[in-house]
Structure 1
Amino acid sequence: MAAHQMSASELADAVNEAIGTLTGKTGSTSERTVFRWLSGENRWPQARQRRALENVCGLPVTALGFVPRGKSTRAALPEDPDMRRRRLFGAAAGTTAAAISLAPPPAPHPSRVGTSDVIRLRDDVERLLAVDAERGGHGLEQAALAGASEALRLQKESATQRVRQRLYALAADFTATAAWSLIDAGRLDMAGRHLERALALAGLAQDSEIALQVWNLRAMLARQRRDYLEAVASSQAAQTTAITRRSPLHASLAYARTAVGLAHAGEARAALRCLGRAENALAKADPAQPRSSWIAFYGLAELHSLTAIVRDVVGHPAHAEAASHRALAALPDAYRRNRAYTTARLALAQLHQGDVEQACATSGKVFEIMAGMPLPGRMRLLLGDFQRDLLAQAPAALAHEWTDHYRTEWSSS
């Protein structure tokens, strides 16, 4: 319930909708029933409720904390297609760009648009983000925009204000994901248009967390365009969102993003002060607290990675190298693209200390990490910065050897 931001009443409604899909007759689960589940008073719901709970949550009922009474058998109810899709979710995360598509909406049924539709679309957002973590966001734009269109279509049919707002928030989330896909691919012009649309949708949703997500991406986009003043302004706008006042995690990200912009703008002292605020805020965040999928990437590893960028830009390459090593040590295995990007930053920090041979060896690991996947445009740009600095600092023979060695992998990836 915390992960899906659902009240007891909303969970009861979603279970009743799922029962209606399974049996043709809407269920009668009440808010009081949900409270009995939460308290442990009822440790094994009715068969139809168990199946409905599995379909709503995408998890076996025993994984939700329920305990069978003696030797229990499942009711022979038809399997819901959404449940099958959720069980296949992990396998879908490794799909290639050409195969990415969202699951089709369920067949129409008499029940109104409600919480179960919100959960179904949120699952689709999570699927896209899992693909992004594995190989990068490039190639996800069309699937994300399709999800936004579906959310807006359902919003027109929704019966309650809360569900309408959550569908607007999902449309904003999908649209921001489409923008991120283009930013990661280095296609910046259209990304800006998507972010303008996402910010408007976040306003309609009255969702400050989605607004922060969009401002964070706008700061990244501005930095890619080398418009560092706009990057700072966007990240400072992220700091003013309501979510940062109640969530140290979100505040930390906003401060860290501001630090990156200030470093590029030549404001070294201000950048380091913002980094300190980001560290202090993250130390107050509860790692066990459920969080939205879009910010799942942010934690100690990402803060170390952003610290490496700031330190390198302000002229502290040794500190940047240390931060990069800390980031790589803390980074979860699932974040393959982030590992490759941080490795490229590590190579730059080594190069800026004059350790040319080690930097060349480290940069080669980027291609090993991303083997079998195309390099995102953003990573290509970073490797381009590495090549430029290598040509400027290293002996000509060594620089040309690096270029010749990786030219094929760089151009074909």
Structure 2
Amino acid sequence: MTGNFRLKIAMDERGFSQCELAKAVNAALREAGERDSVGERTVRTWLTGKSRWPHRAKREALEAVFRCTAEDLGFYPPDSPAPPPEDPDVIRRKFLASAGATAAAVAVPLIATRPAVGTSDVIKLRDRLDALTALDAERGGHAALERAAVAGAREAVELQKQSATGRIRQRLFSIAADFTAIAAWSCIDGRQLDQAGVHLDRAVSLAGLSQNSSALMQAWNLRALHARQRKEFGEAIAAAQAAQSTAITRRDPLYASLAHARIAIGHANIPGERRAALRSLGYAEEALSKADREQPRSPWIAFYGPAELYAITAIVRDQLGDPAEAEAASYKALAKLPEPYRRNRAHATTRLALTQLHQGDLEQACDTTAEVFAIMAGDPLPGRMRSLLGDFHRDLITRAPAATVAREWADRYRTQWSTS
């Protein structure tokens, strides 16, 4: 294969476009007192291999930018034999694997002394972010998750203060926004709503700095959830509409579907807005039917799909006074939920129990809640789930204060539900 793939991979690692590399090289030339300069056209000749050995001043500027030799960047003197062809995929794997590892001795040498922030730093943070997302799906929000997310956001913000290109800086702000959103969500799930609000304000700010519409959409989506938990339903609708106005929802119907679903929940909780709630729910279903589920997306939205929309439908229908339709939607949600989403399964099961209770099936509803404790066995119930079980208990006592099944439920689960 032709072309200077070592330089290309080094540029990818640092997040340099051709224009950005030209600017960095020119800055190094000026610092060295040189009058020479380069443009995008020169960078292209380096990348294509047409220029195999730049003039001395430009070589030294490149070496200053990347902190390695010109040979490490794939250049070679005219009186030297051309290096053997290299597979760019092999170079890239070695390059990324060696960042911060002992493999640096056998990979592209430039990373051993690379002081600047680059793609490998972004990848490491992204891997940590994915691990926290998986932990949330398994266990739900908790204090350790919030602390880890806050630490990740802090690290990303500190990294962007170091030597980094504009592109890498935006990616770091985006990751910081994602970490902060996880911290906010952990607090929402744990019913620490005041602290969640602090994180959400920060997440919106970081998402704006990142210029990443997916991160901004995530922040507004959580703002809508937060407002609903505080029973501020007008604000919940406004936040969901802000999510709906982000650029990502105009490009991708999956994001649009989620925004419509959040709007539907807001309307369902406001008297007299049944029609608006069902209309928004219909828009959510229509948009989801158009979404390509295989399209690469931000990891945070992996939870959303048919299962989650069925779960939201159950919430909307039950709130509107349609418990039979809500029960059917809950069963569909449970059937579609991926196995790793343990917390979501327990939450949907609690919702199912509520729909059964609202139809007068007291014994079946109580039996269903037993599944919630079995699903979450080994971990404390997140605060949001405890609150929902509290709603179940109050509704149970209201509907059948003297029923044996109500007293037995309270006796059996009070300790697990109120203290877990």
TM-score by length of 1: 0.78
Aligned length: 344
Tell me, what secondary structure is at the counterpart of 2:161?
helix
Question: What corresponds to 1:200 in structure 2?
Answer: 205
* Cα distance change of structure 1 residues 46 and 281 upon mapping to structure 2, 3 Å threshold: closer
1:53 positional shift: 4.8
Question: What corresponds to 1:13 in structure 2?
Answer: 11
2:231 to 213, 226, 231: 226
Structure 1 unaligned residues grouped into runs of 5+: 1-7, 18-23, 31-41, 57-76, 81-106
1:372 to 378, 397, 414: 378
Comparing 276-285 with 107-116, greater Cα deviation is found at: 107-116
Question: What corresponds to 2:366 in structure 1?
Answer: 360
Question: What corresponds to 2:124 in structure 1?
Answer: 120
**Contact persistence 2:9–2:92 (CA under 8 A):** no
Question: What corresponds to 2:25 in structure 1?
Answer: none
Using the aligned pairs only, state the percent identity: 60
1:80-229 → structure 2 map (5 Å cutoff): 109-139=113-143, 140-229=145-234
Give the AA of the match of 2:242: A
Structure 2 unaligned residues grouped into runs of 5+: 1-5, 16-66, 76-84, 105-110
Question: What corresponds to 2:95 in structure 1?
Answer: 52
Question: What corresponds to 1:66 in structure 2?
Answer: none
**Contact persistence 2:181–2:219 (CA under 8 A):** yes
Tell me, what secondary structure is at the counterpart of 1:378?
helix
Q: For residues 211 and 222 of structure 1, what CA distance do their matches in structure 2 show? A: 17
1:263 positional shift: 0.4
1:369 positional shift: 0.1
Question: What corresponds to 1:405 in structure 2?
Answer: 412
1:54 positional shift: 5.0
Q: For residues 189 and 10 of structure 1, what CA distance do their matches in structure 2 show? A: 47
* Cα distance change of structure 1 residues 29 and 124 upon mapping to structure 2, 3 Å threshold: farther
1:78 aligns with 2:78: no
Larger radius of gyration: 2
1:190 positional shift: 1.3
* Cα distance change of structure 1 residues 271 and 161 upon mapping to structure 2, 3 Å threshold: same
Give the AA of the match of 1:168: F
Tell me, what secondary structure is at the counterpart of 1:296?
helix
Question: What corresponds to 1:252 in structure 2?
Answer: 257
1:263 to 268, 272, 282: 268
1:307 aligns with 2:313: yes
1:119 positional shift: 1.2
2:278 to 269, 272, 277: 272
Q: For residues 46 and 246 of structure 1, what CA distance do their matches in structure 2 show? A: 31
Question: What corresponds to 2:52 in structure 1?
Answer: none
Deviations 1:309-360 (A, max 9, x none): 0000001100100000000000000000000000000000011011111100
Give the AA of the match of 1:169: S
1:44 positional shift: 5.5
Q: For residues 342 and 28 of structure 1, what CA distance do their matches in structure 2 show? A: 54
2:293 to 287, 291, 310: 287
Q: For residues 12 and 307 of structure 2, what CA distance do their matches in structure 1 show? A: 36
1:412 positional shift: 4.1
1:256 positional shift: 0.4
* Cα distance change of structure 1 residues 150 and 303 upon mapping to structure 2, 3 Å threshold: same
* Cα distance change of structure 1 residues 300 and 121 upon mapping to structure 2, 3 Å threshold: same
Tell me, what secondary structure is at the counterpart of 1:157?
coil
Tell me, what secondary structure is at the counterpart of 1:220?
helix
Comparing 394-403 with 115-124, greater Cα deviation is found at: 394-403
1:340 aligns with 2:346: yes
1:79 positional shift: 4.8
**Contact persistence 1:10–1:115 (CA under 8 A):** no
* Cα distance change of structure 1 residues 11 and 119 upon mapping to structure 2, 3 Å threshold: farther
* Cα distance change of structure 1 residues 150 and 360 upon mapping to structure 2, 3 Å threshold: same
Q: For residues 50 and 219 of structure 1, what CA distance do their matches in structure 2 show? A: 41
1:391 aligns with 2:376: no
1:15 positional shift: 5.8
1:396 positional shift: 3.0
Tell me, what secondary structure is at the counterpart of 1:401?
helix
**Contact persistence 1:158–1:164 (CA under 8 A):** no
Q: For residues 236 and 113 of structure 1, what CA distance do their matches in structure 2 show? A: 36
**Contact persistence 2:225–2:236 (CA under 8 A):** yes
TM-score by length of 2: 0.77
